[in-house]
Amino acid sequence: MTGGNAIRGTRVGSGPAVGESERGEAAPRKRIDYWCANGHHSKPSFALDAEVPEEWDCPRCGLPAGRDQDNPPAARRNEPYKSHLAYVKERRSDEDGMRILDEALAKLRERKGR
């Protein structure tokens, strides 16, 4: 037995009477053309009073897209992943590394009593 106030089998947005009268007026929009370096064309919509960005990420390939079809922006340069050791090698020379290693080994030998 179900109660008289139960809402069964419904979800938000269902039913025949869902329209602009229930959701309110849609904000006025403008569509802007963008092209990426791969030639993909996208046309996102923006509110009339919104600031339109110069670049937009292409939804197909992820490259930056610009508003000039003949001159799309260049792809961003991705830096390869660097390990901690790569960053250390940028800061220290091989001589510095050997000196630090010798100091650390000397401390270890000293603790072990050798």
Q: Is 67 among the annotated ligand-binding positions? A: no
Mean pLDDT of the chain: 84
Task: Give Cβ neighbours of residue 69 (< 8 Å, ≥ 6 apart).
Answer: 33, 35, 41
Average pLDDT estimate for 69-90: 88
Q: Is 58 among the annotated ligand-binding positions? A: yes
Q: Is 61 among the annotated ligand-binding positions? A: yes
Per-residue pLDDT, 40 = 95
What confidence tens digit (pLDDT) does each residue in 24-73 have? 777 899 999 999 999 999 999 999 999 999 999 999 999 999 999 999 99
Average pLDDT estimate for 81-100: 90
State the DSSP H helix or E strand holding residue 97, giving kind and residue range, or none if neither: helix 94-112
Is residue 101 over pLDDT 60? yes
Q: Is 60 among the annotated ligand-binding positions? A: no
> 30: which strand partners?
46
